[in-house]
């Protein structure tokens, strides 16, 4: 059965992923390690209170255009 609570996954793209990662950790949110993906994303994930998986991502190419490494 699908479509229930905890059955979803979303990917959100952000610009300041390192800042958001640290803010989540400081707030006590259990996050995965930051991953440098082969397809060009920097990502980390967490599970919300309903069990949905959320991935926070930044495109490394876009970050480099803005002077972030």
Distance (Å) of CA 14 to CA 4, 5, 6, 8, 30: 27, 25, 23, 19, 19
State the pTM of this model: 0.74
Digit-coded pLDDT (tens) for 31-59: 999 999 988 899 999 998 888 899 999 99
Q: What is the pLDDT of residues 8-35, one digit of tens each?
A: 779 999 999 999 999 999 999 999 999 9
Percent residues over pLDDT 70 in the chain: 78
Q: Residue 66 pLDDT more than 50?
A: no
41 touches 60 (CB < 8 A): yes
Which residues lie below 8 Å from residue 63, measured CB to CB, with a gap of 6+? 15, 17, 42, 69
Q: How many CB atoms lie within 10 A of CB 14?
A: 14
- State residue 5's pLDDT score: 63
Query: For residue 6, what pLDDT is reported?
Result: 62
């Amino acid at each position: 059965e699908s479509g229930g609570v905890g059955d979803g996954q979303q990917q959100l793209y952000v610009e300041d992923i390192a800042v958001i990662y640290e803010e989540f950790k400081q707030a006590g949110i259990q996050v995965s390690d930051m991953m440098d993906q082969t397809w060009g994303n920097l990502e980390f994930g967490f599970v919300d209170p309903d069990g949905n998986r959320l991935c926070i991502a930044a495109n490394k190419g876009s970050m480099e255009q803005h002077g972030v490494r």
